[in-house]
Structure 1
Amino acid sequence: MTDASTVTHAVRDFYRDMPFNYYSDAGLAADSVARNPIADYPDLDALLEEDEIETVLELGCGAGWASNSMAKHYGKSVTAVDFTAAALARARDVSGRLGTTDQVRFVESDLFEFQSPDSFDLVVSVGVLHHTRDCRAAFAHAAQFVAPGGFLFVGLYHLFGRRPFLELFQGIHAREGEEAAFERFRSCASTLSDETHQRSWFRDQVLHPHETQHTLAEVWNWLDEEGLSLVSTSINQYQDVDDRPALEELEKRCEAISWQRNRDENSYYPGFFTILAQRDEA
């Protein structure tokens, strides 16, 4: 898809049918948040422990796992934005069960249309920008809300790591049908126990009508243009990022890793990476 309005409507309709990360029951979703999935991102987890981070904006909050987690486990004040009414309804339900309603404000809005007079200590968007009509423009829109000295945390599909996953699962889908692809997905994504939850992940990972893939080298240029500096990335397991050429070379190895994990080991490796960046104080 290339036409902007076509992409937006297709993605909105796709999530209207079933939001991403969606459980069959709000209680199961609340239990998942209570286990603190933010810990899966150690750099973000460490940052959220800091007292300097008080206000957070999440763009593309979906069913609310990250926003409710940031409020529940770290006591942050969160503005959570999404354009899917069903996802926001579930997010508010979970928030009520967790007692975070005074800390999280859920806003129904298209990402590009959201505006705020305030900047934020931390802006988060995980697995969202690559599903918009223009990932680069969406990245810039998210970055504008980062306060001086504040942080941006973004998760995107990785060009090198993503290709083997798509080739494997979309190949099964084309040859054997959706249910065969779903069963293979379930066998590798074994930590997803609720079938509705599994189906929401499968749809998002395999059947989505629009996605783009990106590299750390590409996103690093975006950071330069937006006045942000890379702090850490999952590409090198959150280690030192001073050697830019070495990191850009390292990420190319993710394609071979993806083939090994997905095809040979039947383990879940969707081809996804995160970056944490900071804006200068000035």
Structure 2
Amino acid sequence: MHASSDPATVANKAEREVVLSVRDVRVAFGRNVVLDKLDLDVYRGEILGFVGGSGTGKSVLMRSILRLIPRQKGEIRILGENYDSASEATRIALDMRLGVLFQHGALFSALTVRENIQVPMREYLDLPQKLMDELAELKIDMVGLAPDAADKYPSELSGGMIKRAALARALALDPDLVFLDEPTSGLDPIGAAEFDELIAQLRDTLGLTVYMVTHDLDSLFSVCDRIAVLGQKRVLVDGTIEDMLSFDDEWVQSYFRGKRARMIPQQKQLDAADDRQEGAAT
């Protein structure tokens, strides 16, 4: 049974606002069909983890949604608007409500962190330089970077700092929906956990909706409200971690119950027990 067909889950979804709707999407490169008959909804305020095996097309779907690569079929609706048939003015307005963090940051190497963050501002807004500088400094602080990072170039940043600087740029226009492509890849466990915590905090404080392409099991267990699994060129199942653990599919079970996953639920239980003990002590 598809996890999202559970009556309680369906009722809960019916009450929520869909900010991203993907319907019947097909993407092929020549004769190689990567995605076919793919449907997906993302709801306001959630952190959706999008997972799948290597080469299944996780990043392809994200780039197709953003019109960075063509698709042969399907409809994309963002914030209720058909992204393909919208007027140029409407599409620009929609673009301003989206933020994107690419896997390796994709910062402009010849620009400082401040200047990178200001790229979307210069593209879409007409603001005085002083105001753009103040806004960039605000975003730098928001993602947990030190103020002196503003004048550094990407080559002077650590991997974790690059991720945070790229996130600051993604937040430059105060978006509603943020796309994150493998945000914790290349980070050590401590840095990855801190980045996950940052994403959760920003979601809560800014009211973001987050679409996160990831293979990081820790991220899936710790910050994702819902998970969608890509397989057989479409979304095989979507739902909570509990839905994933009970879904009858060999790859899904291997992914979420495999050797690398076994300690994570146990650690979550230990963390929850610690929280309960601290609460009782206070």
**TM-score tier (shorter):** 0.3 to 0.5
Q: Which has the higher helix share?
A: 1
Higher strand proportion (structure 1 or 2): 2
- Tell me the TM-score normalised to structure 2 length: 0.32
TM-score, length basis structure 1: 0.32
- Higher-Rg member (1/2): 2
